[in-house]
Chains A and B, each alone.
Chain A
């Protein structure tokens, strides 16, 4: 019934390794880090019941010799929750892989855009000077080049001659 040094050391090691992994950009490592942190926390909860003792089963041991059953109940709940959420996280990483073929935490584009933008007054902005995402035509998908647009337009307005003309330099028609 003496306290053990093993548990604190293991918990500390798991926390350290978990935090280290969690700080990585790779999602697999993030998940692994989260698993380590979850286990560290579960061990911490378990160690809250004090020094080891007999299993808390009615009739198996005297009440004084039992270990505290409540943390064990809490740990069970926590394990179930961690398990379910990890499964969800894995599904999301898989989905991320399906969508963008990478499993790193991505940059928030809107965030970067706001950080790098300069001219805030819309009236002073020339659409062609703006970064592509800022152009007023909206953030469309980037799969189609304008060659496609031309082709599509040609199909759509078949029979109507194209009005493609050489334009003056950018901003020439603006006051």
Chain B
């Protein structure tokens, strides 16, 4: 049974990608196909988790080669759990992307590569979770990274290319490091099979072990964005389209975290670098969240919180205890769901408010209460407010830290609490500025009103156009003119501005709570929220809340997964005694 099921999370999306390319001209068919494929993967992953939880880890030798030679796919509780979360999140994001495409009228554009690339990305993620040897882990990484390069630079606009080059070069470097460490591991042990390595690495001299261990950890830490190897992330993620950023934020770094978990438990269980990891976790948490507090662009802010909260997972891993690992795995599950959801909500905010800058947004809570709820719930969840899953995960980690008892662990517990608090600060800044304050207090509206006052009573009311589009256009150009510092130009500009304001303040408000101070927004600022996108986001928010509901069984599961990981024998036996797994 597992022999059939285990390859499916990799095979299905790859075949689906091929099929989606073939039907690239039929947008509806392509969309239906990719959603169907992802739904199938979710179903398969659920089955895999049920089997893995009931029967323990199982391994499949691809092509029926004898065991140490074959390419192994290993399903244990951890990888099955990761698969479920990844595919569910992928499905949610895909539906969101479909909704966005429909809302933007993309139906007939030749952009048929999004769905195939997305499916390949999911295949790579699944492969990385299932791979039973280092080299296939590398291949899985490469598959997901290569498709992520395409997704990140899709459209080829200047900011995306700029961000894309940084991202690609950094990812390539980490891949090369990983490849080099695979070469060294093979030279030292004569195998790349994880189960075999688990037996052989321990026999190596300490110095060699330390070298291999740190090389692998550095390679994975770049992918997981652990400080000081995290600087690339907030630079590159925010430029991509909303669904792409969402899936990147949710999945890509967590694959790195998954690889770190495997390295720390299966390959090098004696925890030689736990102390280093611990301090890295502390730095990741604090520096990441301080970065987030300084940002004014919602997506960048979220990217920094993403970096920061990677620190929690690394903290749990570095503790090395069962409780710490269980907390880390729970946190990974929670964080994949929550970060993806938040980025999707950010996409909605951008559509609704026309900008990502919190300083320019205002009054969204009255303009769109639904959006406000959709943002508020995951934001509080991220900050770790009870009763959400973020709270449960953090309590688990803090408990594990206290149980550890070392002074280092206590420092980290303190750091984790501070980080949580600062997350709340960052999130409430977004909340108060973009949602809660009356729109008139947004500086844009403020200055517009001031400009209107400056201009004095003029003929504005007479020239009020029927639509709201025109002021938008004009003000965009006005911003372009703002580069001039010449006094004459400034006077002219102010005149133009005053006129826009006069026009805009008289324009019909389109049913929005937000007056025309928002005229500086781009044209879609007054668009209603597209139904499919909102629905997909709402379902994701419901799922993150649902994590609280199923927290008990889920935590039990992560406990068992952590037990398996520390025990190591289930994984190794699954590979060697693979007949039992069939």
A residues in contact (CB < 8 Å) with B: 22, 27, 30, 34, 37-38, 41, 44-45, 47-48, 50, 70-71, 74, 77-78, 81, 84-85, 88-89, 92-93, 95-96, 99-100, 105-106, 108, 110-111, 114, 117, 120, 122-123, 125-128, 132, 134-150, 152-153, 156-157, 160-168, 172-174
Contact = CB atoms under 8 A, between A and B. Distances in A.
B444 A137 contact: yes
Interface in B493-543: 493-499, 502, 520-522
B477 interface: yes
A132 B463 CA distance: 29
Contacts of B175: 81
Interface string B156-189: 1110011111101100110110011011101100
Contact of B443 (A47, A108, A125): A125
Given A149-B474, A157-B463, 8 more contacts: A74-B135, A81-B142, A120-B296, A140-B476, A147-B492, A160-B459, A163-B498, A168-B454
Contact of A152 (B187, B442, B444, B474): B474
Given A110-B297, A165-B456, A167-B491, A41 B168 contact: no
Q: Taking chain A's interface residues, is the majority helix, strand, or loop, or is none over half, making it mixed?
A: helix
A26 B202 CA distance: 43
A34 B149 CA distance: 16
Contacts of B104: none
Determine which residue in B172, B456, B475, B484 has the highest number of CB atoms from chain A within 10 A of its CB, and name it.
B172
23 contacts: A22-B173, A44-B184, A71-B183, A74-B135, A81-B139, A85-B142, A85-B168, A92-B161, A96-B165, A122-B359, A122-B443, A137-B444, A137-B520, A138-B360, A138-B521, A140-B477, A145-B483, A146-B496, A148-B480, A150-B495, A164-B491, A165-B455, A174-B450
A140 B492 contact: no
A50 B479 CA distance: 64
Contacts of B238: 110
Interface residues of B, number: 87
A143 to B, nearest CB: 6
Nearest to B136: A77
B521 to A, nearest CB: 7
A144 B477 contact: yes
A26 B385 CA distance: 46
Nearest to A78: B179
A92 B135 contact: no
Contacts of A111: 234-235
B64 interface: no
A173 B450 contact: yes
B480 A34 contact: no
Nearest to B156: A95
Given A146-B492, A153-B474, A45 B484 contact: no
A34 B177 CA distance: 12
Contacts of B447: 126-127, 136
Contact of B184 (A48, A136, A138): A48
Determine which residue in B163, B187, B456 has the highest number of CB atoms from chain A within 10 A of its CB, and name it.
B187
Contacts of A77: 135, 139
A135 B479 contact: yes
Contacts of A164: 491-492, 495-496
B355 interface: yes
B480 A153 contact: no
Given A78-B179, A110-B300, A146 B187 contact: no
B493 A88 contact: no
Interface of B: 135, 139, 142, 146, 149-150, 153, 156-158, 161-166, 168-169, 172-173, 175-176, 179-180, 182-184, 186-187, 192, 234-235, 238, 294-297, 300, 355, 359-360, 433, 441-444, 446-448, 450-451, 453-456, 458-460, 462-463, 470, 474-484, 489-499, 502, 520-522
A167 B450 CA distance: 12
B320 to A, nearest CB: 30
A163 B521 CA distance: 23
Contacts of A153: 474, 496, 499
A41 B446 CA distance: 58
A153 B464 CA distance: 13
Given A122-B433, A163-B499, A165-B456, A146 B360 contact: no
List 5 A-B pairs, minimum CB-CB distance, nearest first: A146-B481, A140-B479, A136-B444, A164-B495, A48-B187
B183 A141 contact: no
Contacts, number: 235
Contact of A41 (B156, B162, B176, B483): B176
A106 B162 contact: yes
Nearest to B356: A110
A68 to B, nearest CB: 8
Given A34-B172, A165-B456, A146 B493 contact: yes
A164 B294 CA distance: 38
Given A127-B443, A137-B444, A137-B478, A142 B483 contact: yes
A55 B170 CA distance: 36
A123 B443 contact: yes
A22 B174 CA distance: 13
A110 B299 CA distance: 11
Contacts of A139: 479
Nearest to A135: B482
Contact of A137 (B173, B475, B491): B475
B165 A93 contact: yes
Contacts of B480: 140-146, 148-149
A145 B502 contact: no
A48 B482 CA distance: 60
A42 to B, nearest CB: 8
A125 B157 CA distance: 31
Contacts of B300: 110, 114
A141 B150 CA distance: 26
B166 A105 contact: yes
Contact of B475 (A138, A162, A172): A138
A149 B481 contact: yes
A172 B454 contact: yes
B519 to A, nearest CB: 9
B481 A156 contact: no
A96 B157 CA distance: 9
A149 B496 contact: yes
Contacts of B187: 47-48, 50
Contacts of A30: 169
B442 A138 contact: no
Contacts of A173: 450-451, 453-454
Contacts of A132: 479, 482-483
Contacts of A160: 459, 462-463
B459 A161 contact: yes
Given A93-B165, A114-B294, A136 B450 contact: no
B154 to A, nearest CB: 12
A112 B460 CA distance: 38
